[in-house]
Amino acid sequence: MSSVKTFQINQFNNIGSLWGSAPVDDNIITEEPLEIWLQLLAASPTQASVLTAKPLLILMRTPGDDINLVTGWLLTSGTIDNLSQIKAIHHSGLDRVKQGSSNRVLVTLSAEVKLDLAGLNRQEYASSACGVCGQQSIETILLRLEQKQQAQRQDYSSLKVEFIGVLMTQFSQALPLFAQTGGNHGVALFNQLTGIVDVREDVGRHNALDKLIGANAELLLSANERNHGLGVILSGRVGFEMIQKAAMANINYVLALGAPSTLAIELAKEADIVLVGFIKAQRFNVYCGQQRLVLPK
């Protein structure tokens, strides 16, 4: 399945005060549904090896990188605590037989995962603009974050102010789908020592972040990496769900081209995340964590 499709459109232009139109080919970012199905391994040898798979969620996303997307979503939603709890993950359904991929991913989780699979009686829907759809309440998310933060030590690394401009230049040159379509979001993972580590794109900004987290889960969940000041760059605005995902993935810095919401700022303060927004060539706003930014001498 392609991440970009070509449509013939009519393009209008004003040339010499005269309007005219002509048919042109335009690259459009793809948006399709992805079904996430779950099954649990048996808790004891006397039970069947797995329980019946049930649908959990339908995500609207850009096809490609589906396994990383689902892995990242499972981690940032708090459904799983670590990668070892995923025993198998793959595309399933008839389309997989025909084409080698499909719009359905089946995940097998270990028995230790606390999930009432039998209670899942409907598929919840999450649009490409919704980052907390499918989760019961904000209170549940905050509780998971509190439990996670209690198990972690604080990271007091600092980020050089002039390095932000370098990162943004690298980021603007590393978005191939956006260069083709102009219709998607991009996110990048960076390390203070090496710059940008990885870039992912999707029609949904939270999907792009889940893809990035899923692809780099081992790096992000490593305790030693917290000393390296890992952060993300976001192409759009910063809502609550983006900070939530960053906090669940041990991300220390969130740099964004757009503006944050009030709840995003409040959660960033609670999670000790440096939040920078409205980044321009010679200007940016710091919403929290200013003490961890270092000015040039």
288 is catalytic: no
- Type and span of the H or E element at 265: helix 262-270
Q: Return the number of other C-beta atoms located less than 10 Å from residue 145's C-beta.
A: 18
Strands 159-160 and 195-202: unpaired
Contacts of 280 (CB under 8 A, 6+ apart): none
d(CA 203, CA 178): 10
Instruction: Please list, residue by residue across 106-141, b when 16 or more beta carbons sit within 10 angstroms of its beta carbon and e when fewer do.
Output: bbbbeeebeeeeeeeeeeeebebebbbbbbeeeeeb
Which of 1, 53, 117, 130 is an active site residue?
130
The runs of H, that is alpha helices, within 173-230 are 176-181, 205-215, 217-221
Catalytically annotated residues: 130
